[in-house]
Structure 1
């Protein structure tokens, strides 16, 4: 029996891609998105690759609220909802009068950044989270959007209420940027995500601190391990306190 040619055998053997992600000869590389760190674009971080802070401090959050007072009543309320709920701008835009529960003192937010399919490929049901907010915010929302009157009309007609804000996502992002600029907040943290991270940091730094599993629920994290990133801020603050006690800088 003739032996098979080694070259012929190799030609019929499929090439295995290396496990380290290297590009094999003749293999086309995965296209990268310009201007985006494709390996870390979805990673939760409090500091960027240059060590710049990605969350708002308590002082910056206060200044953001003060600067929002120069906007129209509806736009001012949009900024306040972002501040007090830690929701994403897209989630705030999806809010209706029905989502603001005046009697319960909370705003019910649909978690939009969730996988649409479960592990078995079935479509997931919409997921919501209830976030307690100050009574003053609820009263201002009622004054601006006539929530109680809207609820009465909704019950009488049997129809759901419309969205509170009809602005587009780009308009909402420009609003946040404009208020940040007016507040003198510049840098990598001057974004809607920075405001959301600031909400998480404020909860974990509260006295007493809010438990991580509660923060995870309020922020709509699918895994509480995601929320543990905010413990990094506690470690940074602890180091600053210790260095201060030694009379040294951080």
Structure 2
């Protein structure tokens, strides 16, 4: 039997191939985020807080490791991070000043930080004001996150610190009252909202939930 004129060759097989090569999900779903937060409770209070900070702020592990009492703005409800992954020199080769961003956090998180580390006490002492709250190395932080992910039953490309960062972006954009994209870009340290727009293209369970929720409005 000859192929009909105008019909592309191997059309069915190419369609099957496209479906079987669905891009890997790089963020945690809502259910995975909840499982992650439950799993962190098996760590020490200090390490559990490190893991929660990644979840609640979308910061990178290396950014979290720099957190000191001076970076916790208690009355404003903010934590300040030095933004990584920024070019250190401008187009003329001149060294650029470090960039910082302030991220809103919940009062329960701030109170827990104060209970575990004594933030307000540290802020009164010039000798401890700038001392990092966590002394773990970068590799230790990586292993900590992977251990918690495994305990939570989360496996795949999303089971990383970067997966938590992406999960934060997706959660903020898919909330009942989404965070405006320019504010989210600021909180995540993006120099342009073009970078932040990737979270508008949420896939999988989060995307499905958006459509189903529309029927309830």
TM bin, normalised by shorter chain, reads 0.7 to 0.9
C-alpha separation in 1, matches of 2:211 and 2:180: 22
* Alignment CA distance shift 1:189-1:234 (3 Å): closer
Aligned partner of 1:207 among 176, 184, 188: 176
Q: Which of residues 24, 27, 42 in structure 2 aligns to 1:52?
A: 24
Q: CA–CA distance in 2 between the matches of 1:106 and 1:234?
A: 30
Separation in structure 2 between the aligned mates of residue 148 and residue 99 of structure 1, nearest angstrom: 11
1:111 aligns to 2:80 (yes or no) = no
Instruction: State whether residues 205 and 234 of structure 1, in contact with CA within 8 Å, keep that contact through their aligned partners in structure 2.
Output: no
TM-fit CA distance, 1:240: 7.5
Shift of 1:120: 2.1
Q: Runs (4+) of structure 1 moved beyond 2 Å?
A: 238-242
Match of 1:225 among 194, 197, 210: 194
Q: Offset at 1:130?
A: 0.5
* Distance (Å, rounded) in 2 between the aligned partners of 1:241 and 1:224: 24
Aligned with 1:181 (options 150, 174, 199):
150
User: Which structure ranks higher in relative contact order (CA pairs < 8 Å, sequence separation ≥ 6)?
Assistant: 2
TM-score of the two chains, using structure 2 as the length reference: 0.83
Give 1 or 2 for the bigger CA radius of gyration. 1
Q: 1:129 aligns with which of 84, 97, 101?
A: 101
Q: How many residues align?
A: 193
CA contact (8 A) 2:122 2:129 kept: no
Partner of 2:5: none
Q: Tell me what 2:92 maps to.
A: 120
Q: Secondary structure of the equivalent of 1:131? A: strand
Superposed, which structure 2 residues align to 1:1-250 within 5 Å? 51-154=23-126, 160-233=129-202, 237=207, 241=211
More helix by share: 2
Q: Secondary structure at the match of 2:49?
A: helix
What SS does the corresponding residue of 2:42 show, helix, strand or coil? Answer: coil
Report the alpha carbon displacement of residue 234 of structure 1 after superposing the two structures with TM: 7.1
- Structure 2: gaps spanning 5 or more residues: 1-20
Distance 1:58 1:232 in 2: 16
Show CA shifts across 1:183-238 (max 9, x none).
01111111110010000000000111111111110100122101111111179726
Give, in whole Å, the separation in 2 of the partners of 1:75 and 1:61: 17
The two structures, once aligned, show a CA RMSD in angstroms of 2.1
Secondary structure of 1:108's aligned partner: strand
Task: Give 5+ residue unaligned stretches, structure 1.
Answer: 1-48, 246-250
